[in-house]
Amino acid sequence: MSDNGKLLDVQHVTVEFHIGGLLGGTLLTAVNDISFSLDNDKPEILTLAGESGSGKTTLSRLLLRDLEPTRGKVLFEGRDLSTIRNRSEFKEFMKKVQPVFQNPFETFNPLRRVDAYLFDTAMNFGIAKTRRDAAEVVDAALRNVGLSLDEVRQRYPHELSGGQIQRVSVARALISKPKLILADEPVSMVDASLRMEIVNLFQKLRDEQKVSVIYITHDLATAYYISDRIGIMLRGYVVESGPVEDVLERPVHPYTQLLKESVPDPAPKERETWAKHIALGTTEVKEYGRIGCKFAGRCPHVMDVCRKADPPDVQVGNQTVKCYLYTEQGTKAAAGTPN
């Protein structure tokens, strides 16, 4: 099967959840017609950012084949994930696509030594046949994240710092020599002062191990420093995407502009304030159910047309933007002509 040079090819994926009970429930489209791809020979860090409840985790579950799309498909190295049928095929897939989760203290059982997990991973994936081989594999993975087997041997999770344990979980993900790491909020539980240290690892892995990373976050600061590309998510849609410098320095979608404005000062020493989590409560479900642009209720530039149908994707400079402002209607409205 040809992979067309693509490591990952996400084609028009949509996920619908039934919410609100069996009778009279409603459909929530948590991921709405999203497409993007990663090249085989150009490892990169792609960030998916957006406020809480924008569909980031649902999208990452599709990529881990933890969830089947309602429509559309995900191809990894040219293979449609829905054709993975048995455990051994799934294991082969998981060797190449590895997750790193939000809370390392949940990933590791407090009563089990952390090195035991690493040894198990090496043996279960068939990377090592003997414990001696496994020790080598585990040590090499730990060295990639600035640790060593000697440092973590016989240690329990609580005997390691938050930063160290998250580095161990990145090392665990590296044991099978994956081509893609999916990191869902990997630093949100880590002390702010240690975040850059962990996310910098992703750049090192991209450059030295040729691993691509999909980095999911609320934190535009770390995203800005480590990503190549970024997609801004809003209620199931990617509303703006492109090279990270363009999107975050010159955002064109009013929603990205709002996210950026919620960051008072992007200077490095102030960057902690970039990590803004905007909780919206009931606004969330209301916005998901909205006809037309999901941002219409909060957008300072809203026009009549925005409430009628989904905005199209428009190319503005280096960015792809889902917004009427950059269509003919928007240009006319800006010039004072009624739309």
Ligand X SMILES: Nc1ncnc2c1ncn2[C@@H]1O[C@H](COP(=O)(O)OP(=O)(O)OP(=O)(O)O)[C@@H](O)[C@H]1O
Binding-site ranges for ligand X (CB under 6 A): 17, 19, 28, 30, 50, 52-58, 284
Instruction: Pull the structure tokens for residue 157.
Output: 């999770």
- At a CB cut-off of 8 Å and minimum separation 6, what does 281 contact? none
Query: For residues 58 and 176, which CB has a smaller minimum distance to ligand X in the complex?
Result: 58
- The least CB distance from residue 237 to ligand X, in Å, is 12
Q: How far is the CB of 276 from ligand X (least distance, A)?
A: 12
Beta carbon nearer to ligand X, 216 or 333: 216
Judged by beta carbon distances under 5 to 8 A according to partner kind, the member of Mg ion, ligand X, none in contact with residue 330 is none
**Minimum separation from the CB atom of position 217 to ligand X (A):** 9
By C-beta, is 57 or 121 nearer to Mg ion?
57
Q: Return the one option of ligand X, Mg ion, none that residue 239 interacts with (CB less than 5 to 8 A, by type).
A: none
Of 50 and 330, CB closest to ligand X: 50
**Amino acid, single-letter form, for residue 68:** E
Q: Which is nearer to ligand X, 60 or 212 (CB)?
A: 60
CA distance 139 to 43: 24
Residue 175 binds what, of ligand X, Mg ion, none (CB under 5 to 8 Å, by partner type)?
A: none
Minimum Å gap between C-beta 56 and Mg ion is 5
- Residues in contact with Mg ion by CB under 5 A are 56-57
Give the type of residue at 260: K
Q: At 24, list the tokens.
A: 């009279």
> In this complex, which beta carbon is closest to Mg ion, that of residue 227 or of residue 319?
227
Q: How many CB atoms within 10 Å of residue 126?
A: 11
Nearer to ligand X, 1 or 22 (CB): 22
Enter the DSSP assignment of 253: S
Question: From ligand X, Mg ion, none, which one binds at residue 54 (CB under 5 to 8 Å depending on kind)?
Answer: ligand X
Q: Which two tokens stand for residue 187?
A: 């630093």
Three-state SS at 76: strand
- At a CB cut-off of 8 Å and minimum separation 6, what does 275 contact? 188, 192, 218, 219, 220, 221, 222
Interacting partner of 30 out of ligand X, Mg ion, none (Cβ under 5 to 8 A depending on kind):
ligand X
Closest CA to 105 of 180, 165, 41, 175: 165
Binding partner at 222 among Mg ion, ligand X, none, C-beta below 5 to 8 Å by kind: none
DSSP 14: E
User: Six-digit token pair at 80?
Assistant: 């449609």
Rounded CA-CA distance 142/155 in Å is 14
Distance CA 266, CA 10 (A): 32
Residue 28 touches which of Mg ion, ligand X, none (Cβ within 5-8 Å per kind): ligand X
CB of 92 to ligand X, least distance (A): 27
Tokens of 154: 């016989």
**What does 176 interact with, of ligand X, Mg ion, none (CB < 5 to 8 A by kind)?**
none
- Residue with Cβ nearer ligand X (216 or 248): 216
Q: DSSP letter string over 306-329?
A: GGTSPPPEEEETTEEEE-GGGSHH
CB neighbours (10 Å) of residue 162?
A: 16
| Shortest Å, Cβ 298 to ligand X | 16
Instruction: Find the shortest distance in angstroms from Cβ 128 to Mg ion.
Output: 33
The minimum distance between CB 294 and ligand X, in angstroms, equals: 12
